[in-house]
């Protein structure tokens, strides 16, 4: 069965600093990978996705993620964080056979002024 691990429960960065959120997945076949963001009390918004091709994918709000098959990772990055980026971030992997999306436990991002 597929699984996703987000090792960092909570990350704090200063506004303007760079950001990297870690994601490791376990899946037998070529993974379909996603990053979603959730503001408090709201639903999830898709930031970006990887299906195939270029391993560096660009998303909305200036985010990017890099797929590394050898490390089973799909880390999310942003060069300069804004206060509005404070939210919870979820990595997810889609199972083609089960047609299900499996989520990690999330990383809460705090941005200091």
Partner 1 sequence: DGGITQSPKYLFRKEGQNVTLSCEQNLNHDAMYWYRQDPGQGLRLIYYSQIVNDFQKGDIAEGYSVSREKKESFPLTVTSAQKNPTAFYLCASSTKTSGANVLTFGAGSRLTVL
Contact with partner 1 (CB under 8 A): which of 7, 16, 79, 96?
96
Query: Is there binding between residue 11 and partner 1 (CB under 8 A)?
Result: no
**x-marked contacts with partner 1 along 47-66 as a string, rule CB under 8 A:** --x-x---------------
Distances (CA, A) of 98 to 54, 86, 94, 95, 108: 25, 33, 8, 5, 28
Nearest alpha-carbon partner for 90 in 107, 102, 77, 78: 107
In the complex, least distance from residue 103 CB atom to partner 1, rounded to whole angstroms: 4
Contact with partner 1 (CB under 8 A): which of 25, 35, 67, 90?
90
Query: Is there binding between residue 113 and partner 1 (CB under 8 A)?
Result: no
Reading the block at residue 39, the tokens are: 């503001």
In the complex, least distance from residue 17 CB atom to partner 1, rounded to whole angstroms: 25
């Amino acid at each position: 069965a597929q699984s996703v691990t987000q090792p960092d429960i909570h990350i704090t960065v200063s506004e303007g600093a760079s950001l990297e959120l870690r994601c490791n997945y376990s899946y037998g076949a070529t993974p379909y990978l996603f990053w979603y963001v959730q503001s408090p009390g709201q639903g999830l918004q898709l930031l970006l996705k990887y299906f195939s091709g270029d391993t560096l994918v660009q998303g909305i709000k200036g985010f990017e993620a890099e797929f590394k098959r050898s490390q089973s990772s799909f880390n999310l990055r942003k060069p300069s964080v804004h206060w509005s980026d404070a939210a919870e971030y979820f990595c997810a992997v889609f199972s083609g056979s089960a047609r299900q999306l499996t989520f990690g436990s999330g990383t809460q991002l705090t941005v200091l002024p």
